[in-house]
């Protein structure tokens, strides 16, 4: 009996033939009509409890089977030759990884999992392969042990900070650090009075200009300090930079404000302060610095 977890009863399949046999033996969801028209679940083959068919289901299309996980488009397609295609339409998150593990991986001793916002396939032989997002990615049966293995493993890189280059960039902002320390030593809650204000597009552009061309103009530095201490303004920066934002309390004091500003430097100067080091294919990459490169604001090389 299910305990309420919609994934508890998901089926696991030992290959394409096993999945096809299940489809042929399973009754599709019946036709139902309401004032809104035909039910969108009609004809679907549930992959778990029938009450969750709107979330987890499959269908046979031209000899292949499409698998759906909380999606309008298939997250994976299983072909007659045994190939499983993880589709470019599928974005990665932990529930999707869990779905793929339960439906595809269990019989092959495999699991899909998320690490630092990236998806990996842990194979039955102990290898872990990075699965890129936004592209079709095929895993095929190994001719030797029948494990599902990437058809074209992707080379991953680890981002290593160039400490000397980072120190050079940090040195350009010495006047701002001195100003920041002087102001916050007197008023450690400087940013609180700005938390009800809203950041304009022009203000964000001005902040980006300051990061690219630092100045010791006091009026400019005061405005920039607001961005490093006000929760409201930080939120606008991270949204504009397409970065993950953690909704924490307004930063107070010199130490925390400095940490916030140096985080911004890592994001803004990502291409200058991090180098790409190739890692062994089949090994999980512990790369905490990768998140800094997700912003669209990277200084040209």
The rounded average pLDDT for each run of 10 residues, N- to C-terminus, in the chain (301 residues) is 68 91 92 68 91 93 94 94 92 92 86 89 87 93 79 91 96 96 90 69 79 94 86 72 56 82 90 91 86 66 39
Tell me what pLDDT residue 113 has. Answer: 94
Q: Are 190 and 225 in contact (CB under 8 A)?
A: yes
Q: Are 239 and 245 in contact (CB under 8 A)?
A: yes
Q: Are 289 and 276 in contact (CB under 8 A)?
A: no
DSSP result, the chain: ---S-TTTT----SSHHHHHHHHHHSPPPPP-EETTEE-TTTT-EESS-GGGTTTEEEEEETTEEEEEESSSS-SEEE-TTS-EEEPTTPPP-HHHHHHHIIIIIGGGT-EEEEETTEEEEE-TTS-EEEE-SSS-EEEEE-TTT--EEESSPPP-EEEEE-HHHHHHHHHTTHHHHHHHHHHHHH-TTGGGGGTT----HHHHHHHHHHHHS----HHHHHHHHHHHH-HHHHHHHHHHTT-----PPPP-HHHHHHHHHHHHHHHHTHHHHEEEEE--TTS----GGGGGGGSS-----
Distance CA 30, CA 35 (A): 17
HEC-encoded secondary structure of 156-205: CEEEEECHHHHHHHHHCCHHHHHHHHHHHHHCCCHHHHHCCCCCCHHHHH
Q: Are 110 and 97 in contact (CB under 8 A)?
A: no
Helix axes 218-229 and 201-212, enclosed angle (nearest 10): 110
Distance CA 254, CA 188 (A): 7
């Amino acid at each position: 009996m299910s305990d309420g977890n919609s994934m508890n009863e998901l089926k696991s399949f030992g290959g394409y033939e096993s999945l096809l046999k299940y489809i042929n033996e399973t009754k599709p969801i019946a036709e139902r009509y309401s004032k809104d028209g035909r039910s969108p679940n009609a004809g679907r083959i549930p992959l778990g409890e029938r009450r969750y068919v709107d979330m987890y289901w499959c269908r046979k299309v031209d000899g292949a089977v499409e698998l759906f996980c909380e999606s309008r488009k298939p997250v994976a397609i299983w072909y007659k030759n045994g190939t499983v295609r993880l589709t470019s339409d599928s974005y990665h998150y932990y529930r999707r990884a869990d779905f793929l593990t339960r439906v595809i991986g269990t019989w092959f001793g495999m699991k899909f999992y998320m690490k630092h916002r990236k998806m990996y396939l842990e194979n039955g032989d102990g290898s872990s392969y990075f699965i890129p997002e936004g592209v079709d990615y095929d895993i095929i049966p190994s001719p030797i042990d029948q494990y599902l293995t990437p058809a074209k493993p992707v080379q991953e890189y680890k981002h290593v900070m160039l400490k000397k280059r980072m120190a050079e960039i940090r040195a350009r902002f010495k006047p701002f650090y001195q100003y920041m320390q002087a102001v916050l030593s007197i008023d450690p809650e400087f940013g609180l009075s700005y938390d009800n204000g809203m950041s304009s597009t022009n203000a964000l552009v001005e902040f980006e200009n300051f990061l690219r061309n630092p100045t010791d103009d006091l009026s400019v530095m005061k405005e920039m300090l607001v961005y490093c201490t006000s929760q409201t303004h930080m939120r606008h920066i991270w949204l504009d930079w397409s970065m993950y934002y953690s909704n924490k309390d307004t930063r107070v004091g010199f130490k925390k404000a400095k940490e916030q500003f140096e985080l911004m430097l890592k994001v803004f100067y990502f291409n200058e302060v991090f180098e790409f080091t190739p890692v062994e294919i089949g090994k999980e990459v512990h790369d905490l610095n990768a998140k800094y490169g997700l912003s669209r604001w990277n200084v040209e090389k």
